[in-house]
Structure 1
Amino acid sequence: MAAAKVHDLTNGSGRQRAYTEIRARILRLEFSPGAELEEGALCTLLGLSRTPIREALIRLASEGLVVLQRGRGARVAPLDISNLRTFFEALDLLQRAVSRLAALRRTGEDLAAIEPHIQAFEESGKRVESLDMAESNYRFHMAIAVAAHSEYLERSYSRVMTEGLRVARVCFSEENDREAPPLSAHVDRTTSEHHALYNALLQQDADEAERLAAEHTILFRNRVAQTLIPIDGLLSHLRV
């Protein structure tokens, strides 16, 4: 097979494509936790020069999906089940905070930006596309974070949500339903909670928004417990 042609795309298009494709492969677990990300191999795989690849890896490192090692290149960030307790502690606190502030500060433009992501999640749930569900769920909650109009809080929440994307992708996978309730029931419950949270923002009910955000974290945590934890093979894979 002929080697892929390498394009010297150092503009925004090349950087964005490198970022998008590497990120998607990490979230799909095609690049497994702890796997080495060798620049030359990525250049060949994606048909790009080293500059956009390197910039994409730096951006992904800032989001917590990649670990840069001085003199040793880059690796996919580990995904350690033992850290889930502290992950959910942070998610609970941040999700309640951004939802409360969003209820108090949201504008009409903010609501218009949030609403389409509810439908996007529903549509991806009908197709049982686990990565699409994880991504649309992420975009829904990050649109709420933007509506909170708190730059530092949004940045912290984005980091936690990004780190949870790989976990969410697995939990939205139908192949892991052997031990858990049907995925369709989880998707329906998630969609219902998205609608309820949006309505709380619409009504500017900060107490209700915070309460729903806490319940939403519990729903995700329970799905993790029902899907990830009982699967020994998957656990060993994620502890790389």
Structure 2
Amino acid sequence: MAKASAETQPVKETGAVRVYGILRDEILRMQLAPGTPLDEIGLAERFELSRSPIREALLRLSADGLVEILPNRSTVVTPMDFRRIPDFLDALDLLQRVTTRLAAVHRSNADLVAIRDAQKGYEKAIAASIKTGDSLGMIDKNYDFHLAIARAGRNVYFTDLYRRLLDEGRRMLHLHFEYEAMADELTVGKMAGPHSDIVDAIVARDADRAEEAAHQHAMQFRGRFMQFLNRNLTANVPLNIQSIAVEPTASESSEKARIGVPG
């Protein structure tokens, strides 16, 4: 039997790639909470690897903005500073408007193909996310869609800045999807509609409409995410009402003593 050519042989996954993929998914799903320490020795034992591929995976996660390597060489999952979220959302709105406007002006036919393909991929990922409850595929395809638009704008500086914001916003998008999934009316059309408006404006080379559609998309995300925060910041705080001791007032104690109720 003839040997398979190098082109048809599957690429073997390295230990570092496997660790990177698993930890990345756990961070984006919030299974590894912001601020969680990541110990190289513990991870090496978990994955049954030496520390070298673990360190390589952590460096790659650091480049993605998902972990922070501290001055003492320890590593933690990048914290989410909720005080800075309004600043993040302002920056996301501005760069989304700029990159989308530039795409409407400078896009080529090849860019349109890439943008439309990314939009179709996003719609399929939404359908899968609604079915399974797992938002990771949708998050990745949303990232691909917006970067395809940014590249069409032909400004590498805006593209790089926008990429950084999209990386930082992946966990927020996961939380946003979980909040949206609470609603019974969640559909592919509802989730993908803002993207379709953006694509239509870029196709028409209407820069003003493209910028406005991008702005409205950013404002929708901002509003829904802030609603999520207001509703859910205390949702996971356990309360055991029976264990909460309430001291009686002086009049209540006096009344108990008068009718012979134990204090």
Output the TM-score relative to the length of structure 2: 0.76
- Separation (CA, whole Å) in 2 of partners of 1:112 and 1:41: 45
- Other-structure match for 1:148: 153
1:194-219 CA-to-partner distances (Å, cap 9, x unmatched) read 11111212222211111111000011
8 Å Cα contact 2:180/2:186 also seen in 1: no
- Other-structure match for 1:5: none
Q: Provide closer, same or farther for how the CA distance between residues 217 and 42 of structure 1 changes in structure 2, counting only shifts above 3 A.
A: same
Percent identity over the alignment?
37
8 Å Cα contact 1:124/1:133 also seen in 2: yes
Gapped runs of 5+ residues in structure 2? 1-11, 238-263
Structure 1 letter corresponding to 2:190: R
Q: Secondary structure at the match of 1:31?
A: coil
Instruction: Name the count of aligned residue pairs.
Output: 222
- Other-structure match for 1:45: 46
- Other-structure match for 2:100: 99
- Other-structure match for 1:198: 199
1:5-48 CA-to-partner distances (Å, cap 9, x unmatched) read xxxxxx98444333322211110111110001112222333344
- Other-structure match for 2:176: 171
Q: Following TM superposition, by how much is the alpha carbon of 1:175 offset from its aligned partner in structure 2, in angstroms? A: 8.2
Q: What aligned pairs does 1:1-240 form with structure 2 within 5 A after superposition?
A: 13-127=14-128, 128=130, 129-173=134-178, 177=182, 181-182=183-184, 184=186, 187-233=188-234
Q: Provide closer, same or farther for how the CA distance between residues 13 and 207 of structure 1 changes in structure 2, counting only shifts above 3 A.
A: farther
Q: Following TM superposition, by how much is the alpha carbon of 1:159 offset from its aligned partner in structure 2, in angstroms? A: 1.0
1:177-202 CA-to-partner distances (Å, cap 9, x unmatched) read 2xxx54615x5333111111112122
Q: Provide closer, same or farther for how the CA distance between residues 146 and 14 of structure 1 changes in structure 2, counting only shifts above 3 A.
A: farther
Output the TM-score relative to the length of structure 1: 0.82
Q: Provide closer, same or farther for how the CA distance between residues 227 and 174 of structure 1 changes in structure 2, counting only shifts above 3 A.
A: closer
8 Å Cα contact 2:96/2:215 also seen in 1: yes
1:79-105 CA-to-partner distances (Å, cap 9, x unmatched) read 122211001111011111111111122
8 Å Cα contact 1:138/1:161 also seen in 2: yes
Gapped runs of 5+ residues in structure 1? 1-10
Q: Provide closer, same or farther for how the CA distance between residues 149 and 50 of structure 1 changes in structure 2, counting only shifts above 3 A.
A: farther
Q: Following TM superposition, by how much is the alpha carbon of 1:144 offset from its aligned partner in structure 2, in angstroms? A: 1.1
Structure 2 letter corresponding to 1:166: R
Structure 2 letter corresponding to 1:30: Q
1:120-179 CA-to-partner distances (Å, cap 9, x unmatched) read 2222322313222222212211111122222221111111111111011011116862xx
Larger radius of gyration: 2
Q: Provide closer, same or farther for how the CA distance between residues 208 and 69 of structure 1 changes in structure 2, counting only shifts above 3 A.
A: same
8 Å Cα contact 1:25/1:31 also seen in 2: yes
